[in-house]
């Protein structure tokens, strides 16, 4: 998979995104706060891949609030492991609560 940005933004490192939101396993449930960490060529692809991964894990709906690029590897878990996994093509879903 190519990770070259498809816009005019120049980014020297790998495009590892973090997406923050809430995901729901059942209609009407409170939902779980989530962070999704993945590698993608652009933010649209990152959102699509995150939603696909959430669906594969049994979530029926998600409210994605923020998206950003991790410019350096996180030092603390679970984000450090998620970042390493993203570099190898994995999509990490970190669930809180």
Domain with 68, as residue range(s), is 16-96
* Residue of 87 and 4 predicted with greater confidence: 87
In a domain, 25, yes or no: yes
Spatial neighbors of 55 by CB under 8 A, at least 6 apart, are none
The residue assigned the tokens 């990490």 is: 92
pLDDT for residue 11: 61
pLDDT digits over 28-70, tens only?
899 999 999 999 999 999 999 999 999 999 999 999 999 999 9
In a domain, 8, yes or no: no
- Look at the chain and report how many structural domains it folds into: 1
In a domain, 88, yes or no: yes
pLDDT for residue 10: 59
In a domain, 71, yes or no: yes
In a domain, 2, yes or no: no
Q: How far apart are CA 58 and CA 75, in angstroms?
A: 29
In a domain, 11, yes or no: no
DSSP 88: T
In a domain, 44, yes or no: yes
pLDDT for residue 68: 97
In a domain, 68, yes or no: yes
Reported pTM: 0.85
């Amino acid at each position: 998979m190519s990770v070259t940005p498809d816009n005019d933004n120049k980014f020297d490192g790998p495009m590892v995104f973090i997406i923050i939101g809430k995901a729901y396993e059942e209609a009407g449930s409170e939902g779980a706060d989530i962070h999704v960490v993945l590698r993608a060529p652009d933010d649209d692809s990152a959102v699509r891949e995150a939603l696909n991964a959430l669906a594969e894990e049994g979530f029926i709906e998600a409210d994605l609030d923020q998206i950003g690029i991790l410019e350096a590897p996180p030092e603390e878990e679970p984000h450090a492991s998620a970042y390493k996994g993203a570099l190898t093509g994995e999509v990490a879903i970190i669930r809180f609560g």
